[in-house]
Homo-oligomer: A and B are copies of this chain.
Amino acid sequence: MTQRQVQHRINLKTQGLACGRGDTVLAADLSLEVAAGSALLLRGPNGAGKSTLLLTLAGLLHPLSGSIAFEGADPEAGPFLHHCGHRNAVRPRLSVVETLKFWADINGPGDVPPTTALDRVGLGRTAHLDAGYLSAGQQRRLVLARLLVSPRPVWLLDEPSAALDAAGRDLVAALLADHLRNGGLAVVATHDDIALPRAATLTLGARV
């Protein structure tokens, strides 16, 4: 496998972006600018469309109209973004470290070896446990480790702190701060308070 070059300094710009499910428009006319090194927090009540917007930015849903541009991204150099949804992609019967190695394989490995990443998120001791036995919060920590093993400049995180304890929330904030300091970009949907430097906030409409 040719070790691909890590891409740097990507800016996100959207122009008149509308996203939604099927024909239902959930957010219209969004013109966002998120520069490398800064973050955008998505807030809003349940059902506002935060997850939908993240999926659209990740390219997993088609925008209903408008455009999304990642400036500075080199499409030749492979994918440049991580998306973490509500589901953890953790399969029982594979051990924690096997799971992480597999993710590194398919996403292209980076400089951080899996065991180091596990230590960083506080799962060092569970490395050889069946990943299906992890508690809700431990699985979420494993997902965070995925962000570390394959470095990518854009992180799209959907409620990264759900099911995490206080230490876990601090961990999320620390990881994000590191990422931003290294010139990364992050869009984070959350209901919790995550202390972030240089973070703008976008609140999506209220409609339960």
Contact = CB atoms under 8 A, between A and B. Distances in A.
Interface of A: 21, 44-47, 51, 86, 122-123, 125, 133-138, 140-141, 159, 162-168, 191-192, 208
What is the oligomeric copy number?
2
B136 A46 contact: yes
Contacts of A167: 45, 208
A-B pairs with the 4 shortest C-beta distances?
Answer: A46-B137, A47-B135, A45-B165, A122-B208
Contacts of A162: 162-163
A35 B69 CA distance: 58
Given A123-B208, A208-B122, A208-B123, A135 B165 contact: no
A97 to B, nearest CB: 16
30 contacts: A21-B133, A44-B165, A45-B137, A45-B165, A45-B167, A45-B168, A46-B135, A46-B137, A46-B138, A46-B141, A46-B164, A46-B165, A46-B168, A47-B134, A47-B135, A47-B137, A47-B138, A51-B135, A86-B136, A122-B208, A123-B208, A125-B208, A137-B191, A141-B208, A159-B163, A162-B162, A163-B191, A164-B191, A167-B208, A192-B192
Nearest to A167: B45
A125 B46 CA distance: 14
Nearest to A24: B133
Contacts of A46: 135-138, 140-141, 163-165, 168
A42 B54 CA distance: 32
Most-contacted residue by chain B among A123, A134, A163, A166 (CB, 10 A) = A163
A135 B141 CA distance: 23
A46 B141 CA distance: 9
Nearest to A168: B46
